[in-house]
A and B are shown apart, each in its own frame.
Chain A
Amino acid sequence: MLRRVSIMIEKVKEILAEELSLELDEINDDSDIREDLGADSLDMVQLVMSLEDEFDLEIENEEIQSVTTVKGIVEFINKKRG
Chain B
Amino acid sequence: MIFQRGKEVLGTEFPVIQGAMAWISESTLAAAVSEAGGLGVIAAGNAPFSWVKEEISKAREMTKKPLCVNVMLLSPYAEEVALGLVEEDVEFIITGAGNPGKYMAAWKGAGKKVMPVVPSTALAIRMEKSGADALIAEGTEAGGHIGEIATMALIPQIVDAVSIPVFAAGGIGDARGTLAAWMLGAEGIQVGTRFLLAHECQVHPKYKEKIKKAKDIDTMVTGRPTGHPVRVLKNALAREFMKKERAGASVEELEELGAGALNLAATEGDTKRGSFMSGQIAGLLSEEQSCKEIIQDLYIGAVELFAAKCKEADNG
Residues of A within 8 A of B (CB): 40-42, 45-46, 48-49, 60-62
Contact = CB atoms under 8 A, between A and B. Distances in A.
Interface in B94-150: 98-99, 101-102, 119-120, 122-123, 125-126, 147
For the side of the interface on B, what is the size category?
10 to 19
Interface in B204-234: 227
Contact of B227 (A40, A46, A48, A61): A40
A49 B77 CA distance: 28
Contacts of A40: 227
A61 B101 contact: yes
Contact of A62 (B101, B122, B123): B101
14 contacts: A41-B227, A42-B119, A42-B147, A45-B120, A45-B123, A46-B122, A48-B126, A49-B122, A60-B101, A60-B102, A61-B99, A61-B101, A62-B101, A62-B102
Interface in B249-297: none
B98 A42 contact: no
A49 B125 contact: yes
Contacts, number: 27
Main secondary structure of the interface of A (DSSP, over half): helix
Contacts of A42: 119-120, 122-123, 147
Nearest to B121: A46
A60 B99 CA distance: 10
Contacts of A41: 98-99, 227
Nearest to A46: B122
B84 to A, nearest CB: 20
A74 B285 CA distance: 52
A77 B164 CA distance: 30
Contacts of B120: 42, 45-46
A28 B215 CA distance: 48
Contacts of B227: 40-41
Interface string B42-74: 000000000000000000000000000000000
Interface in B141-193: 147
Contacts of A61: 99, 101, 126
A41 B73 CA distance: 13
A49 B101 contact: no
Contacts of B122: 42, 45-46, 49
A45 B126 contact: yes
Nearest to A40: B227
